Every structure is written in C-alpha cells, then in structure tokens.
C-alpha cells in the first residue's frame, strides 16, 4: 500500500506564447529559429508541424512543438495529469524568459503566472506551481517583496516553491537573491534550479558587464577557483551556450549552501544525462553529476550531512536505460537515497515519447517499488513541505 | 445601345472590368477569410493597445475572458469584430481581476487545499483597485484617466468604449492598406492568368463597336473578347504541357509586343486593384460574400463606421 500521494517534481506547461521569438535559437540556427517563430506566430504552426513530421530529422520534435504551439497551459496540464493516476501531485515549473535576450515575447513572466494561477485554481490539490524568479527582475528588496507576495501567511497564493533558471543569464549566488534564499531557508520553501548543459540559455547579442563578472554574496574557495581560471572568463566571441554553462555549474551552489546550509535546494537533472554517462563511462569524477553527488554526500566534522536539504531529480534523463541502471546504485546509497526526486521534465521529453509510457518504462526498469516510492512519494513530501504547504 | 462607338466602348469596358473586379474582390475576400485577416489584425491591434510590457499582456487576458472567448467559432478562430461595449466591459473586468486575491488554505487533517477568493463587489471600485496594483506604465496612466473622468461603472465603460472606437478608426486604415496589398497581388495574378491586356481589350472592343455602328448590324460582327491566351502557332512538340504552355504564351506576348503587353497588364492591374473597394460596396448590395455574419447593430455610430471595412 502506498505511503502517500505520488509526486512528479519537475514538469512544464508553458506554451509558445510565453517564450521569446529567439527561444528556438537554443536548438536551431538563429535565422531558422526566428523564421520558425514568425511562422508559428502567424498561425502557421499546424501546417508546419504537418510538414515537419515527414522528415526524420524533425519528426521527433513534433509532439514537443504541437504541445508548445497549440495548447494552453491548462490543456497541457490536463494532458499531463491524464498520464498519471488520479490525485498524483504535479509540480509545475514556469520560467521567467523576460531577460533571456530573445526579443519579442507575447506573454511576459507575470502573464504566464496569471495563466498558471488559473490552472492552480481548477486543480488546487494536484497542481503545485513554483514561482519563477530571475534576480534581474529588481533589487534584492524588490525580489524579496515579489516572493513574499506569493508566500504570505495571510494570503498564501498556492505556490509551493521557487524556480531558478540561471542559464538565462545570472549567477545563482547573485546578491539580489540573498534575501530570497534567507526567506526560503527560514520557511522551508523549496527551490528548484536547472542544472544540465541541455536546455534554454541566454541568447542576447551581447552580455552586459554584470553578467560576465561574477559577484557573489558569499564567495567560497570553490567558486573563487572556478572563476579565477582564465578558461572560465568571458572572451569576446565566446559562444553564449558555452558561457551560460558557467551559470549552471554545481559549484556555484557552494556559495549559497555555505551561507544557508539548511536551504531546501533541488539541483535538477542530476547534472544532465551526458554528465551522468560521462561519469559512468570514464569514472573520472569530473562531471557535474559527480560534483552534485559530492555536495549531497558532504559531511561536517561531526559526520553529519553538511547540506541535509540538498536534493536532485532525475528529470529528462529518466528515459535512458543506462542512467536508470546507474540510478539504482545511487538509490542504494543511504547518503543519497532520501534526496533523489522523481521528475520527468514534461513536455520537454515529449520528443522521446509518451509521458505515461516513459514513466511506466522507468518503473519497470527500476524494478524496485520501495525505491520508486522513496523517490516519488517520501522524498518529494519532505522536499515540498514548508511553513506554507504541507505535502500529503 | 449607344450611337457613339466611344461611349459603347467605355460602357463595355466598364462592365467587363466591373465583373472582373467582383471576381478579384471575391478571391481577395476568400483569402482574407481563410487567413482570418480581420481577426488577426484586430488581435494585433488590441495587442498593441493592451500588451503592457511593464505589467501584463492584458490583450491576451482579454481574449481569454469568456466575454471575448465565446465570440470565437472554435479555438482556432479569432473574432472578426468586437463590439466596443463588450470590449470595454471585458477590459474593466480584466483590470478589476488584478485586485482579486485568490488564496489557499489547507485543511489541517485532510491536507486538501481550499481556494478562497477575495474581491471587491463593486466593479468600478475593483477596477480602480486593480489599477493600483499595476506598475507605472502608459496603459495604466490612460486607464487611470478614464477612471477619474468616470463616476461609476457605466460611465467608465462608455469612456473606454469611445476610446476603443476611435482607435478602431485607425485600425480600419491599417486593414484597408493590408487589403490593398492583397488586392494588388490578386489583380496581378488574375491579369496574367487571363492575359488581361487593357490596351488590347480597349482596341478590340472599340473596333467591334465601330464595325457594329458602321454596318448597323448588317454583318455578323464577331463578339469575341481578347481574354485569355490565344495561341496561333501549333507546337507539335512532345514537350510537357506546362513547357508547351509557357512557350506558347511567350510567343503570344512576343507577337503582341513586350511593351504593349506590359502596359496593358499594368493598366488592368491598376483598374482592378484601385477600384476594388468601390466594387466591394456594390458587391455587398448583391450578395454578402463575407460569410462572417451581419454586423451587429450598435448604438455607437462611430464604431459602426470604424468597423465598416474590418
């Protein structure tokens, strides 16, 4: 018998109206991406999808595109919910694309959240939205006010946690985030941060000086070493995707966790499938996957977990059999077992297959119901419970 | 009918081009309908008006509101018209919703979430409260002006409706321009497809009128019009049909003269595209080709004018 509700801690339901014109540049040549965006905005997405499905190179993206183009957040959420048993809790992660440098975006972050509010209103128990936050939104105080607006004891807006997406152009140790971390740590509010080289990144024509001069509210030896390395300093002509990887580096979180060791932080994707596979194949302990592991297993002088609320999730990579095999080992490790979360990264994974089938495949390959319940029931319950929300 | 061959020529050309213009306008109207040009332009115009980058995309929220959403035929459809009053009423509700607080309480035993909604009962007050929650922006300033000029909801709706109506006047101009572009393209296509050489047509009609007048119908004057492509040369070639057609067409143009053909086509394109709105009005009296339903009656006369061409 199940110990509680099942959770998927990593899903997305935003659509193409919530992303800037340049969003597809993350995946396609810029000119093609902008042409595609223009065609989609002109309402030609459907015939376009019809054409693209006939080409082997593009056919796998069709499901992903169709969801992104033709469905409202509510419809996407309903489709997602249909893939799971009734009552499954789904953490929905919006993204703040306002500072991505991608040009025109029909719906800014505030509009995206308003639309997400409606999804929450219609699914108060099963939809668990996180609050998207980019520190460039305002000053430290303004960012804190923004978070407090949603997490208030008098009028709790139903948001369960905070979502960061540093690849869009900020360092997670940005001083404008410090009060937010403090507030989150004090109230047990979970934070999920993107951590894989795959995904969206800043696509502006140039980086502003503040974006390439890391200023930390709590510099630690790890980040000093990382950013003093000339290899990691911005050079003109450097590809955006390459520099944006630095925003995502797991070491950045040493600065955050050293200041707020009790912070509930989910460094998502376990570093990414490529990083996991690199470790599995080479075992050189130089992958993001390994760095996250190290942080999760770090202990203090008394042998206690140094960052007891540091989590990771296996979203996006959960469909890969080799990764599942590796995950079984991690779940067998008592130092990690209680902090690995089940998430899928729907609908980014729609290019690989149907959510229900992929989840079924994952459970089958995992072949360990106790481990499944641990990562989809117990661990999320601990991660998501805060002063504002008690996860059932 | 006319004793003067010139008058007869003018009258004949007038009716030929009237028919062709109706044909061109129908094609343009069909394309506009298929492309939802009206709906898209209206959506674009409202987006220009209400997409407040400093706050929210209120245009998007307006279209999501049942007051507007129900005007759609289906999810793919965009309404071609939005009545000024419906627009104003919906916008007031959208802004008022900004002051609505949806908050949640969790049952301590079952842990179920209960949504609670806290909102102003008076829509006018709620609208003002909604404005207060917004960051400073042009839109906020404008809407604040309306709310200050109005003393109650009814006046507020009227103010916004009048503003929308004036804006729609400009949008009508945008639509006319976009229609003109499409008309030129359709006219060009029809002209080439039918080889509609105005000069050739005029001289042929005049010649026939002259013959008819001179002979007083004693001879069987030919009534054939120079429409379409006439190929005099026989090509016994075994090339593809398309290649044969282009080759013959090219020969035909060469026989007529390149400049003569070009000028003739140009006149036809100008007549077909410039005169289209006039013919469209005439066409409306004969048959309603728009298929978007009759325009709703409105007490807003200005808006009625504004929507005329939308």
A90-109 pLDDT, tens per residue? 999 999 999 999 888 899 99
- The pair of structure tokens assigned to A367 is 């072949």
Would the CB atoms of B57 and A111 count as touching at under 8 Å?
Answer: yes
Q: Which of A124, A152, A389 sits opposite B115 (nearest CB)?
A: A124
Q: Which of B36, B57, B76 sits opposite A107 (nearest CB)?
A: B57
Q: Which of A108, A121, A125 sits opposite B102 (nearest CB)?
A: A121
pLDDT at B303: 38
Provide, as residue numbers in chain A, all residues whose Cβ is less than 8 Å from the Cβ of B47.
Answer: 106
Tens digits of residue pLDDT in B198-250: 998 898 888 888 887 666 555 555 567 777 776 655 555 555 666 677 777 77
Does A153 map to a domain?
A: yes
Domain count for chain B, please give it.
Answer: 1
Tens digits of residue pLDDT in B266-297: 999 998 887 666 665 655 665 555 555 555 55
ipTM over 0.90: no
CB A290 within 8 A of CB A329: no
Q: Which of A108, A124, A392 sits opposite B104 (nearest CB)?
A: A124
Range among A43-47, A162-166, B176-180, B301-305 rated most confident = A162-166
Provide, as residue numbers in chain A, all residues whose Cβ is less than 8 Å from the Cβ of B50.
Answer: none
Pick left, alpha or beta for residue B219 (phi over 0 → left; psi -120 to 50 → alpha; otherwise beta).
Answer: beta
pTM of the model: 0.82
Coil vs helix vs strand at A266:
strand
| Closest C-alpha to B51, from A104, A101, A246 | A104
**pLDDT above 90: percentage of residues in chain A:** 74
Q: How confident is the prediction for chain A on average, in pLDDT?
A: 91
Query: Residue B157: which pLDDT band, with cuts at 50, 70 and 90?
Result: very high
pLDDT at B298: 47
pLDDT of residue A325 exceeding 60: yes
CB A131 within 8 A of CB A112: no
Would the CB atoms of B105 and A156 count as touching at under 8 Å?
Answer: yes
Torsion angle of C-alpha atoms B213, B217, B220, B225, degrees rounded to 10:
40
Q: Lowest mean pLDDT of A110-119, A268-277, B143-152, B174-183, name the range.
A: B174-183
| Closest C-alpha to A178, from A243, A97, A263 | A263
Residue B10's alpha-carbon distances to A23, B14, B198, in angstroms, are: 58, 6, 12
CA–CA gap between residue A272 and residue A287 (Å, rounded): 10
CA–CA gap between residue B24 and residue B27 (Å, rounded): 5
Domain span at B96: 5-307
Would the CB atoms of A106 and B113 count as touching at under 8 Å?
Answer: no
Does A167 map to a domain?
A: yes
Domain count for chain A, please give it.
Answer: 1
Does A76 map to a domain?
A: no
pLDDT at A189: 98
Hey, is the C-beta of B103 within 8 angstroms of any chain A C-beta?
Answer: yes
Residue B274's alpha-carbon distances to A144, A207, B270, in angstroms, are: 60, 50, 6
3-state helix, strand, coil in chain B (%, to 5): 65, 5, 30
Mark B250-285 as b/e (b = at least 16 C-beta within 10 Å).
eebbeebeeeebeebbebbbebbbebbbebbeebee
Identify residues of A whose CB sits under 8 angstroms from chain B CBs.
Answer: 17, 43, 106-108, 110-111, 114-115, 117, 121, 124-125, 152, 154-158, 389-392
pLDDT at A69: 75
Does A211 map to a domain?
A: yes
Does A392 map to a domain?
A: no
Would the CB atoms of A157 and B111 count as touching at under 8 Å?
Answer: no
- Minimal C-alpha gap between B113 and chain A (Å): 6
pLDDT of residue A361 exceeding 70: yes
Provide, as residue numbers in chain A, all residues whose Cβ is less than 8 Å from the Cβ of B40.
Answer: 43
Closest residue in B to A154 (Cα–Cα):
B103
Query: Residue B143: which pLDDT band, with cuts at 50, 70 and 90?
Result: very high
């Amino acid at each position: 018998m199940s110990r509680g509700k099942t959770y998927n801690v990593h899903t997305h339901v935003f659509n193409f109206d919530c992303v800037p014109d340049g969003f597809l540049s993350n995946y396609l040549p810029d000119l093609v991406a902008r042409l595609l965006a223009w065609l989609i905005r002109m309402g030609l997405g459907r015939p376009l999808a019809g054409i693209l499905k006939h080409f082997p190179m593009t056919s796998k993206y069709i499901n992903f595109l169709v969801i992104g183009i033709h469905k409202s957040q509510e419809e996407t959420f309903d489709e997602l919910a249909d893939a799971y048993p009734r009552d499954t809790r789904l953490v929905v992660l919006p993204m703040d694309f306002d500072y991505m440098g991608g040009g025109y975006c029909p719906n800014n972050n505030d509009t995206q959240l308003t639309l997400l509010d409606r999804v929450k209103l219609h699914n108060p128990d099963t939809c668990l939205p996180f609050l998207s936050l980019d520190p460039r939104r305002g000053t430290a105080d303004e960012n804190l006010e923004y978070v407090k607006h949603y997490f208030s004891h008098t009028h709790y807006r139903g948001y369960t946690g905070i979502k960061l997406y540093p690849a869009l152009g900020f360092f997670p140790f940005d001083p404008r985030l410090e009060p937010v971390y403090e507030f989150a740590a004090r109230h047990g509010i979970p934070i999920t941060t993107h951590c894989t080289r795959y995904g969206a990144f800043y696509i502006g024509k140039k980086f502003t000086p503040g974006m390439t001069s890391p200023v930390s509210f709590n510099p630690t030896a790890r980040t000093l070493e990382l950013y003093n390395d000339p290899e990691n300093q911005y050079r003109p002509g450097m590809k955006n995707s390459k520099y944006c990887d630095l925003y995502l580096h797991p070491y950045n979180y040493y600065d955050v966790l050293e200041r707020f060791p009790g912070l509930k932080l989910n460094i998502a994707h376990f570093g990414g499938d490529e990083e996991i596979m690199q470790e599995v194949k080479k075992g050189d302990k130089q992958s993001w996957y390994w760095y996250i592991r190290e942080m999760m297993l770090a202990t203090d002088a008394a042998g206690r977990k140094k960052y007891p609320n540091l989590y990771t999730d296996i979203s996006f990579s959960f469909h890969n059999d080799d990764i599942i095999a590796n995950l079984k080992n991690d779940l067998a490790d008592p130092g990690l077992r209680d902090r690995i979360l089940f998430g899928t990264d729907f609908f980014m994974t729609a290019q690989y297959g149907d959510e229900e089938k992929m989840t079924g495949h994952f459970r089958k390959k995992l072949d360990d119901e106790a481990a499944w319940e641990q990562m989809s029931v117990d661990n999320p319950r601990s991660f998501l419970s805060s002063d504002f929300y008690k996860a059932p | 009918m006319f004793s003067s061959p010139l008058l007869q020529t003018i009258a004949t050309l007038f009716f030929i081009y009237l028919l062709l213009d109706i044909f061109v306008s129908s094609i343009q109207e069909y394309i506009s309908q298929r492309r939802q040009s009206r709906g898209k332009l209206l959506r674009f115009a409202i987006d220009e008006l209400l997409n407040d980058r400093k706050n929210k995309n209120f245009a998007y929220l307006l279209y999501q509101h049942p007051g507007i959403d129900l005007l759609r035929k289906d999810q793919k459809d965009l309404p071609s018209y939005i009545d000024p009053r419906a627009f104003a009423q919906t916008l007031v509700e959208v802004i008022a919703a900004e002051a609505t607080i949806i908050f949640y309480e969790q049952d301590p035993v079952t842990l179920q979430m209960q949504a609670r909604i806290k909102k102003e009962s008076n829509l006018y007050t709620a609208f003002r409260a909604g404005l207060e929650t917004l960051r400073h922006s042009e839109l906020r300033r404008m809407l604040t002006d309306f709310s200050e000029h109005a003393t109650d909801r009814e006046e507020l709706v009227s103010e916004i409706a009048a503003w929308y109506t004036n804006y729609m006047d400009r949008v009508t101009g945008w639509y006319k321009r976009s229609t003109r572009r499409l008309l030129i393209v359709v006219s060009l296509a029809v002209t080439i497809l039918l080889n509609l050489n105005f000069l050739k047509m005029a001289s042929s009609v005049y010649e026939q009128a002259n013959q008819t007048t001179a002979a007083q119908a004693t001879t069987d004057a030919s009534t054939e019009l120079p429409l379409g492509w006439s190929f005099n040369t026989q090509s016994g070639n075994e090339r593809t049909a398309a290649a044969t057609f282009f080759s013959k067409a090219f020969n035909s143009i060469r026989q007529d003269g390149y400049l003569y053909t070009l000028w003739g086509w140009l006149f036809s394109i100008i007549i077909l595209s410039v005169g289209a709105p006039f013919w469209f009005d005439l066409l409306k009296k004969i048959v309603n080709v728009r298929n978007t339903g009759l325009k709703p009656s409105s007490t807003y006369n200005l808006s009625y004018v504004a929507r005329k061409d939308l």
